[in-house]
Structure 1
């Protein structure tokens, strides 16, 4: 009876933990993952306007009268770089992360202690009565210890992501910096690759071809992952994930 109740409890728990994911996977058997619709990123429930420390406001420079040239413009008639909400900008993502760490430690220690009490309050004459087999008071206590430890650790990592993502300016901050958000989805057969990024850029970091390097994004958030047949196979089973979380060894 107890085994039946335990099995039922585990089954219900597993169903509650994995119901949503399993139902979603079963619903798309035989077809590729659905692409997200094109939508205004500011209408996403998780979208939050960015608030950053701002410098003191300054008066804008007056344009020169009877002049066709605008200060800061890189073209004769109009600056082609993104500058307003809704403008599109290309973000060049080139991440090459490589790290190698090696650590070796070794420690050795030896210790020896000895203590004797040849005479104490005249009781040395009574040692023979308490220790008939013989006793040397000069070697009453002796202790020796020897310990050593050795450890070696090594970490090696190499990651590379190179992509071009077109983003949209979603906000212009009071100091002129631009908040950009971009998303790109690529579906090949039954595998979906999804890349999302957001960050803050300075207008002067935008190149003349309306591109900006990803390392110029402040508060950058870059996410690159996938879902589909290959990703499902690479993910551990729900039962294994539960055991990995609760087992102490």
Structure 2
């Protein structure tokens, strides 16, 4: 093997390891986040009627999402708080006294003034206390698209928002399952009324890189986690 190739291989292996160290946990947001065009339905016979099953919308109700491709405004208001406390204590003491007043072949005065007495004491005390707290607060607004209508009428929605400012990009992705009865007037719904919610907010660019640990520090932290 050419010796000039070895440094290049070493650099490639090192870069591959760095990429593994910088791995970011994924969120299982439904993909794709936009509606996929469904195959066109078979051509229905022209009856001259206003009512059409595949595209019917009542004329006297507010516009609400009901078909694939419709949009729905989601009010994200997720707040999770958890506190755990634990206290334990153990206290144990013991005491023993023994003495000899007489022994065959030994003068009685040999046991006077506590010369043949024995006393022991033991004690063990343990106390422990622990408190764990976790709090997350996420709020925002995103407009999602109906990507699927389930047989029971529930809507599977997904949406994505990307905002780029200078050299930074902020990405917000959302997906979930909505009961049409939870949709409020104005075609909006609270995220707390959506099932199987998946929310992901990531940053790309210089600002996100400044908030992440450098790859060399991650490398040594992997080798020496203490």
TM-score where L is the length of structure 1: 0.60
Of residues 105, 109, 113, the one that matches 2:91 is 109
Where structure 1 has 5 or more consecutive residues not aligned to the other structure, the ranges are 1-6, 23-38, 44-67, 129-133
Aligned to 1:88: 71
1:236 aligns with 2:218: no
CA separation of 1:126 and 1:10: change in aligned 2, threshold 3 A: farther
State whether residues 14 and 239 of structure 1, in contact with CA within 8 Å, keep that contact through their aligned partners in structure 2. no
Aligned to 1:28: none
How many Å apart are 1:90 and its aligned residue? 1.1
Task: Note the 1:164-243 alignment, pairs <5 A.
Answer: 164-243=141-220
Of residues 122, 125, 136, the one that matches 1:144 is 122
SS of residue paired to 2:96 = strand
How many Å apart are 1:102 and its aligned residue? 7.4
Where structure 2 has 5 or more consecutive residues not aligned to the other structure, the ranges are 1-6, 23-31, 37-50, 108-113
How many Å apart are 1:86 and its aligned residue? 1.2
Over aligned residues, Cα RMSD in angstroms?
Answer: 4.2
Size of the aligned set, in residue pairs, is 190
How many Å apart are 1:208 and its aligned residue? 2.0
SS of residue paired to 1:144 = strand
TM-score where L is the length of structure 2: 0.65
Aligned counterparts of 1:135 and 1:178: Cα–Cα separation in 2: 91
